[in-house]
Amino acid sequence: MVVAPTHLLAALLALGTLVDSSLASAVPDELATSSSDSASLESAFSSLNATVGGRLKRAVPFEAPCFSIVEGQSVHVDTAACSAIQASYTDPTFRVTHFGAYMLPQWETCQSSPTTEGCLLDSSNPTNPLAINGVNCQLGNVPPYYIEVGSYKDVQAALAFSNSTGVRLSVKNKGHDYKGRSSGKDTLNLWTTNLRSLSHSATFTPEGCVGKTYDAITTGAGVFTQDVYQYADSVNRTIIAGYHQTIGFSGGYFLVRPSSLPASP
Ligand SMILES: *[C@@H]1O[C@H](CO)[C@@H](O)[C@H](O)[C@H]1NC(C)=O
Ligand SMILES: *[C@@H]1O[C@H](CO)[C@@H](O)[C@H](O)[C@H]1NC(C)=O
Ligand SMILES: *[C@@H]1O[C@H](CO)[C@@H](O)[C@H](O)[C@H]1NC(C)=O
């Protein structure tokens, strides 16, 4: 989609101010905007949420329960939630269930700001207090809003929203994109992780084709590679795909599936 730069800028500025007062602290002062822009964007988000059946969510940093300062505000540490995060901090099967968690944690952080914005624990020692005490936990490069996509209609709604507001889109599946393309500061993210359909047909016909059939497995955008391996086994077929259970099977920016590791969102 092509969006006029001034339109895009205005929308991004508005996005920064409405995210909420705490997030606004992460938006530089020069990005102030008129209240009308902010109000119309807020109303656009609200109507988007209605269109997608309430599946529009506001992101929080994955590690936030461990911190007493979040986006510059004093908050209560959630000791139980923090302990669970610390215990499984480097476990992909745990991280994959959280929108704010990425497999390469640097993509949770924004490195283009004067000081890196983010909210990371010490990966080699998640209980290390030096990474936590007195540190301001920020959303960083994690998209402030996301839709837990339920069907193609949610994607259509997001595209129309982006077209009319200028808010950029990003797409996340399992968070394995090692080039960081599945996060993005100030973007609206399409989280495809719940699209888990799996089916097999020995006589599959691609849409629009006649006369030729294929032995094929069809997967939703959010299916785990592990689940495809097991499904293929159950129907006596073999699949060649990614090395890790939590890698999303479908898609990839070059449509080569995650067997090309950097191409998996
Ligand atoms: C979207 O609507 C649902 C259901 O009403 C609500 O729980 C959720 O907080 C809303 N999302 C946002 C970003 O306000
Ligand atoms: C994008 O917006 C323009 C008007 O700004 C409208 O004409 C066009 O139909 C929109 N496209 C989509 C896909 O919503
Ligand atoms: C599985 O597929 C192989 C290769 O087509 C075939 O030889 C074998 O009989 C199949 N096994 C079952 C249980 O269908």
Ligand 2: does its nearest atom lie under 6 Å from the Cβ of 3?
no
157 C-alpha vs ligand 1 centroid, how far in Å?
Answer: 16
Identify the residue whose C-alpha is closest to ligand 2 atom 14.
160
Predicted confidence at residue 244, as pLDDT, reads 76
pLDDT for residue 15 is more than 60? no
Ligand 1: does its nearest atom lie under 6 Å from the Cβ of 244?
no
pLDDT for residue 12 is more than 60? no
Q: 41, 43, 56, 189: which to mutate for ligand 1, most atoms within 8 A of CB?
A: 56
pLDDT: is 18 or 120 the higher one? 120
Identify the residue whose C-alpha is closest to ligand 2 atom 1.
163
Structural domains of the chain ordered from first start = 5-59+143-191 (3.30.43.10), 64-131 (no CATH), 198-263 (no CATH)
pTM score of the predicted model: 0.82
Among 167-171, 209-213, 243-247, whose mean pLDDT is lowest? 243-247
201 C-alpha vs ligand 3 centroid, how far in Å?
Answer: 15
Predicted confidence at residue 252, as pLDDT, reads 56
Q: What is the mean pLDDT of residues 165-182?
A: 92
pLDDT for residue 198 is more than 50? yes
Beta bridge partners of 209: none
Identify the burial level of 50 via C-beta atoms within 10 angstroms of its C-beta, where 0-12 means exposed, 13-18 middle and 19 or more buried. exposed
Distance between CA 48 and CA 153 in Å, rounded? 11
Distance between CA 197 and CA 235 in Å, rounded? 15
Give the number of the atom of ligand 1 that is nearest the alpha carbon of residue 145: 13
